Structure 1
C-alpha cells in the first residue's frame, strides 16, 4: 500500500472513530445522564401546613433601581397566611435603590419592608453573600428564608406555593424563566438552562442519595435550621457561584434539596446584546471549572467532540461520500437536537432552532476560554464594579 493511500485510510478510520465516539456519547447522554434534557421537574401536589411557618424574604440589591419597580411590588404583594416580611439589603448602591424601595413599599403596601445596608465587604467574602448574610440576620429567627434576587418577579401565590411544597425538604429552589426578547437572548438563554441542567441534572439533584447538588439562587426557599446546620452563609462566603455552593452545603450536611422549573417566577434582567450575554457567562465559567487548566482543556475537547464534531462530520462525510461517517454523525446531531427540543418548547421557541445548538455551543466554548484568559490576566469574576480574581 502506498504512503498516500495509507494516509487516506488512516484519516478515514480516525474520522469514523470520532463520529462513532460522538454518537456513543449522545446515546449515553440521552439515556443515562439523569434525563437532564427533560423539563418535568416541577412542584407537584402540595400540602397545606397545620401551622404556616414564618418567612423572611431576603433581597440583596446593588444598583437595582431600574428593575425594582417591576419586581419588589411582586414580593410586597404576596398574600401569605403566616408571618412574613421583606428585607432588602442595599449592597453599596450608587443609585437610589434604597430610597426607591422605601417609596415602593409606601405606595404598594403589603408585606412589611425593612431596608438595610451591610457596610464594607470583609476580606474573604463576595459582596452578594455578605449582603445575604446581613439580610438573614436582619430577618430574625424565622422558620424559612426566601432568598431571591432583585431582578426576579414573583407571580401571585408564589410564596404560598413554595411553603406548601417544602414539606420535609430543606431547600426548594425554582429556576426563574429568563428573558428571551432579543435575537441573541433567544439564541443563548435556552442553551444556558440546557447546559446548566447538563452539569446538574435536576433529577439527580432531587434524589436524596445522589451526590449531585445545586440550587437556583433567584428563587430559593431555605429552612433556617438546615442553613444553620450547614454553617450558615459564612460557610460559602467566598463562593462566586453561590446558589450551587448553597445547595451543595445543605445536601452535604444531610439536608434534602429540590430544584426544578417554574412558569410564574421570572427574571426581568435584560441581556439584549451578545456582549452582555458574553459577560454574564464568562464572569463565572472558569470558576465553575475550579480555575483548573486541566479541566478547561477537557471541557474544550469535550464540547468540540460532543457538539461540534457531529455537524462538521455530517457535512464532511457527505462531501467525501463516506456514508458510515455521515450516518453516525447525523444521528449524533439528531440526538443532540432532540434533547434540546424540550427546553426550546419551555421557552416557546421554534423547535427548528435545535439544529443551531452547535453554533451556540461554539459561543459557550469561546466564552469559557475567555473567562480563563480574564482570570489569568488577574481580572477574574466581576459584577457591578466588584472583581474576584482569586
Structure 2
C-alpha cells in the first residue's frame, strides 16, 4: 500500500470511530429536559457581567427585562470597568421599561491578582445577590445573549424536573455574514466533538462542560463548590465551572443546544472570529507544546487528509470526506445553512488549525488570552 492509501485509511478509521465512538457528538436534538409547573417558583438572581457592551445591550437587555417568570427574579448587571457607558446605558434601558424585572448596576473595580475580569465580576454579583435576595438559582448570562420571554421559566422548570444543579444552553450564535456562516457552525461542532453533550449529561461520566453565555446554577451548589473562588483564574471559565460542579461538588449538570437563547454579537469580519478562537485555544490545550503538536497533526490527519487524498484519486479518502460531511450536516441544519456547505468543513478546519497555532504563538510572546484590553498569562 502507498503512503496515500495508508493516510486515507487512517483518516477513514478515525472518522468511523468519531461517528460511533465519540458520544454521538454530531447529534443536534439535545434540548432542555422536560420540566413541570411547581407549586411555588423559586427566586432567581440574574447576573450579567459586562465590559464595554454598549453596542449590544439595546438588543439583549430588554429581553431579560421582559422575562415572563412566575416567581421573583432580579437582574444584577456588573459593570466590569467599562469605558463606553455600559452601566449608565443599562439603567436607561431599564428605566424605559418600568414594567420589567428590577435591575441594579454594580461596579466592583479592577480584579485582584489571580482573577479574570469576568469571574471577578461574577464574584461581586453573587455576593450582592446573596445580600439582597434569597435566590435559590443564579442565571449567569453574558451581555450579548438575548432570551425569549419564557427562557428563564423553561430553564428553571428543567432544573426542577430533572433535579439538576447546573443547566446550560449553547446559545445560537449569529451566522449572517459570509465569515460567520463559514466559521460559527463549526465552532459549536468542534465544541461538541470535544465535549459530547450526551456524555456531559450522564452523571456517571467524567466529561463536564457548560456554555458560558447561559448557565442556570443552584445557589446552594455554588456555595458547596466554592464558585467562583475555586475557578478564579480560569480563562475557559464555563468548562471549568461545570467540572467544579460535577467533579468536586458531585452535582448533576446538563448541556444542550438552545432554541430560545441567541447571541446578538456580530462577527462580520475574519479578525473578530480569529480573536474569538485564538484567545483561548492554547489554554484549552493546557499550554502544552506536545499537546499542541499532537492536536495540529490530528487536525491535519482527520480534516485535511480526506479531501487531499480524495482529490488525488483515493476512494478511501473520498469515503472519509463523505463521513466527515455527514456528521456536519445536522449542525448546518441547526444553523439553517444548506447541507452542501459540509463539503467545505476541511477549509474551515484549516483556519482553526492556524488559529490554534496563532494562539500558542501569542501565549509564548506574552500576550496570552487577550480580551477587551486585558491580557491573562
TM-score (norm 1): 0.94
In the aligned structure 2, how far is the partner of 1:120 from the partner of 1:155?
32
Gaps of 5+ in 1: 1-11, 319-325
SS at match of 1:108: coil
Shift of 1:48: 1.2
Please identify runs of 4+ aligned residues in structure 1 that moved more than 6 A: none
Larger CA Rg, structure 1 vs 2: 1
SS at match of 1:221: strand
Partner residue, 1:279: 275
In the aligned structure 2, how far is the partner of 1:307 from the partner of 1:35?
18
Shift of 1:306: 0.3
Q: Deviations over 1:289-311 (max 9, x none)?
A: 01000110010000000000000
Partner residue, 1:78: 67
Shift of 1:126: 0.2
In the aligned structure 1, how far is the partner of 2:330 from the partner of 2:170?
15
Q: Is the 8 A contact 2:227 2:241 kept in 1?
A: no
Q: Is the 8 A contact 2:211 2:255 kept in 1?
A: yes
Shift of 1:13: 2.6
Partner residue, 2:149: 156
Which one of 111, 115, 120 corresponds to residue 110 of structure 2?
120
SS at match of 2:257: strand
Which one of 4, 12, 33 corresponds to residue 23 of structure 1?
12
Which one of 145, 158, 162 corresponds to residue 165 of structure 1?
158
In the aligned structure 2, how far is the partner of 1:176 from the partner of 1:349?
17
In the aligned structure 1, how far is the partner of 2:219 from the partner of 2:184?
32
Matches within 5 A, 1:270-309: 270-309=266-305
Gaps of 5+ in 2: none
SS at match of 2:321: helix
1:147 paired with 2:131, answer no
In the aligned structure 2, how far is the partner of 1:385 from the partner of 1:173?
28
Partner residue, 2:255: 259
Partner residue, 2:77: 88
Matches within 5 A, 1:171-190: 171-190=166-185
Shift of 1:228: 1.1
Which one of 359, 366, 369 corresponds to residue 354 of structure 2?
366
In the aligned structure 1, how far is the partner of 2:229 from the partner of 2:37?
32
SS at match of 2:2: helix
Shift of 1:156: 1.0
Which one of 228, 235, 247 corresponds to residue 230 of structure 2?
235
In the aligned structure 1, how far is the partner of 2:326 from the partner of 2:315?
16
Partner residue, 2:334: 346
1:197 paired with 2:186, answer no
Partner residue, 1:377: 365
Q: Deviations over 1:166-225 (max 9, x none)?
A: 021000100100001110000000000000000000000000000100001101100011
In the aligned structure 2, how far is the partner of 1:163 from the partner of 1:58?
15
How many residues align structurally?
Answer: 370
SS at match of 1:260: strand
In the aligned structure 2, how far is the partner of 1:120 from the partner of 1:273?
30
In the aligned structure 2, how far is the partner of 1:181 from the partner of 1:27?
32
1:333 paired with 2:306, answer no
